[in-house]
Amino acid sequence: MAFNSITNRSHLRIVREVEAIGGNVTASASLEQMGYTYDAMKTYVPEMVEMLIDCVRNPAFLDWEINDQVKAEIAEASNNPPGLLLEAIHSVGYSGALANPLLASESVENFTAPRMVLAASGIEHEELLKIAKPLLSDLRSKPHP
């Protein structure tokens, strides 16, 4: 669901903005972590960081995008027997966190500062902080109770 529609950008707008700077975006998810990646030339770091943070913090979760993603995930999973086995083992072996689906409403509420990492290469740390701090200053430091 990463880089799909967000509350203030459509999926098409995200695609166009990434294409406009010659960028490449990817995302991955597992039972314990999610990763968002945005690659482009160094001169576009402010645009990349802003979009990356916006996509992480403001997903829209539109019904049709969720349905499309579920279909794609099911098709991918059906071609991955070891992955299906691992999912089944987790569902049986854990009656809590690891048995929950990846798309859980709690996940958005639990994206808090201590649980996030923003990393970049090819840019000075202070420069990255100058760009990211204003965009993350309102991020909760603790999850909802």
pLDDT (mean) for 32-36: 87
Round the average pLDDT of the chain to a whole number and report it: 85
- With a CB cutoff of 8 Å and minimum separation 6, the contacts of 91 are 99
Q: Could you tell me if 21 and 46 are in contact, meaning their C-beta atoms sit under 8 angstroms apart?
A: no
CATH superfamily, domain at 11-74+104-136: Metalloenzyme, LuxS/M16 peptidase-like (3.30.830.10)
Domain boundaries, the chain: 11-74+104-136
Q: Does residue 140 have a pLDDT over 80?
A: no
Question: What is the spatial distance between Cα 90 and Cα 85, in angstroms, rounded to a whole number?
Answer: 9
Residue 78 pLDDT: 84
pTM: 0.77
Reading the block at residue 17, the tokens are 């903005």
- Report the percent of the chain where pLDDT is more than 70: 86
Residue 97 pLDDT: 57
Q: Tell me: the pLDDT tens digits for 53-81?
A: 999 888 888 888 888 988 988 888 888 88
Distances (CA, A) of 88 to 24, 107, 141: 33, 21, 34
Query: Who wins on pLDDT, 22 or 87?
Result: 22
Q: Tell me: the pLDDT tens digits for 81-97?
A: 888 888 788 777 776 65
Residue 144 pLDDT: 60
